[in-house]
Chain A
Amino acid sequence: MNAVPPLLRLIDVTRRHGAAHDPQSFALGPLTLDVLSGTWTSIVGRSGAGKTTLLQIMGGLDAPDTGRVVIANPDVSNGATGSPDVVRRFDIGFVYQQGVFVEHLPVWQNVAVRLIPAGVPARERRRRAAAVLEELGIGEMLDRRPASLSGGEQQRVAVARAVVHQPRIVIADEPTSNVDADTGSAIVNCLKGLQTRGSAIIVATHDSAVSASSDRCWHMESGRIVDE
């Protein structure tokens, strides 16, 4: 009997894009997975293997066709025991594969955007954003617009946004792709820091250095985990 219950559990999850008879269609799963608190899980595999789809389902951005996703207790797949919005706001931080920002807002607003509906005053939001950005080495870019940042800087802002609320789960989709070694190192260190405080880190990556430092590594092919 496992003494520590899983923080995130996928139970018989499947997801299909496109019609079953379409040769271009893609099917994920069925997958049954557990993720524990304070662990680093890497997901590796070729492009199109299903890493992003799996992360999106784990993060509640997408819903499985069948099966269930359980985070602690709330069920993000059908909202029966907790709203996916609430789970996303409090429990999950998501680093997107490509930079997605509210372009007209400054960096600090983008980083702390999830704190707005929580009623956190602007000064406090700015302070928290500044602390995370400082940790990631771009503390001086608080008031810049995202479009004026380099790709690496944008990626760090995306990571800052995912961790600003100290989530229990951080899901990152290739966070170190297209960034230099220093930026990649800063991102990994930031996530490691969160892991040591008990968060579960789940990273899809092609970066062998990142996957090498993980507690677990899932190898995906054609929507299934073929090796662990």
Chain B
Amino acid sequence: MLGTHVNLLLLAAENVVGHWRAYLVAAAGLVLPLALLLCGVAVSEGLKADAVASVDAGADLYCTWDMFGRDAPLPLDKIAPLADIDGVTRAVPRIIGRTIVGSAVVLVVGVPLDQIRRAAPQVDGRLPADGSEVLIGNELARITGLSPGKTIALDAHSLRLFTVVGVVRSTSTLWSAKAVVCDIDEAATVFGESGHVTDVCLYARAGYESLAAESIERVDDRYRVQTKSIVHNYVVRGMSIREGVFTILFALALAWAIPSFAILTYMGHTPRRREIGLLKAEGWRTAHVLEMVACENVIVAVFAAASATFIAIVWLRVFRAPLIAPFFVPDLPLFPNIVLPARFLPLPGLLALVFSLVVTMTGSIYTTWRTSITRPVDTLR
């Protein structure tokens, strides 16, 4: 009994090799969309993990101001009461804005200097010692040629010159890859908003997050507070929706692969039809023929999924995910010049295998069955 299955599997392997041209073309049609799909999912997972890690390592609460029912910058005099809330251990105001350096749109992040030192990001160079010094993101350094010791001009409301003293090295700071991190007072001057901050990051004692959030809203109902878990959920949901849309697009592309596979491997393929007719004439049961073809499909599907995974890794690591990356990070060009964070998880690989199996099985089993149940005299004609 086992011998039959082993024989059929080995013959299937010989058939795949024997019909390698047809199978190669069919597998290539499968590999290309699968590779792009795996690449996209890996980028999405990488970005999601990055963002989640960033949220997890960040503040426990984020506090802004309510103006006309929407989030608005927080007046400076509203910061001090936050630090006095029971359970809050630290309140860090931030100014976050955008300006243009050269031709690049950059994110300006202003935080108190001591907080920069406290966060201790990994940098090439050193941390700023006073307000005239800034850190820049590695992508900004790459595209502008800035490096420690050079001067950068930030011009939003007023023009200010700063000395770059460090380049943030970490790859997990994609969001700040084109960022300038400076002292909060300098940021206020650059944007001409000395009376407000964008938000306040609050750190709370373990277990006090919810209590602190309720207490803040009791102090003044115009405070708008978001907990870490809410931000975490926003990030994950946003990424998942994008990934879902991406996967659906590729599922449709793969659906087109089914008839292509059928045409390339079976339908109208006279030698193949005669082969099946011969096997039937030689006493093979329809079940034997179907099992052999199913084995061929498994071989092709495993090959396609493995090839797709390999190509996806190369596409991502070597070529930096061209065509795919802009779908997930809209600011990126079609051919990105930064290495994106990516995670290759087992599940998408398994999904690729399942997709391949569905395409190959759907594209061949019915036509094989039809051929198998036809009288040998007709298929051998």
Contacts and interface: CB of A to CB of B under 8 A. Distances in A.
A215 to B, nearest CB: 26
A62 interface: yes
A172 to B, nearest CB: 14
B10 A122 contact: yes
A117 B9 CA distance: 11
Contacts, number: 83
Nearest to B277: A100
A63 B283 contact: no
A100 B18 contact: no
Interface residues of A, number: 32
Contacts of B125: none
Chain B interface secondary structure, helix, strand, loop or mixed? helix
Contact of B283 (A89, A96, A100): A89
A214 interface: no
Given A89-B283, A161-B282, A117 B377 contact: no
Nearest to B10: A122
Contact of B281 (A63, A94, A105, A121): A94
B291 to A, nearest CB: 9
A116 B11 contact: yes
B7 A105 contact: no
Contact of B3 (A96, A103, A119): A119
Given A83-B285, A85-B284, A89-B282, A117 B274 contact: no
Contacts of A218: none
A102 interface: yes
B284 A89 contact: yes
Interface in B1-53: 1-4, 6-8, 10-11, 14-15, 17-19
Contact of B8 (A56, A104, A109, A117): A117
Nearest to A91: B283
Nearest to A53: B377
B58 interface: no
A99 to B, nearest CB: 11
Nearest to B17: A104
A129 B281 CA distance: 18
B14 A104 contact: yes
Given A96-B380, A117-B288, 18 more contacts: A61-B281, A62-B375, A62-B376, A83-B285, A85-B285, A102-B18, A102-B275, A104-B18, A104-B19, A105-B18, A114-B282, A116-B8, A116-B288, A117-B8, A119-B1, A119-B4, A120-B7, A122-B10
Interface of B: 1-4, 6-8, 10-11, 14-15, 17-19, 271, 274-275, 278-286, 288, 375-377, 380
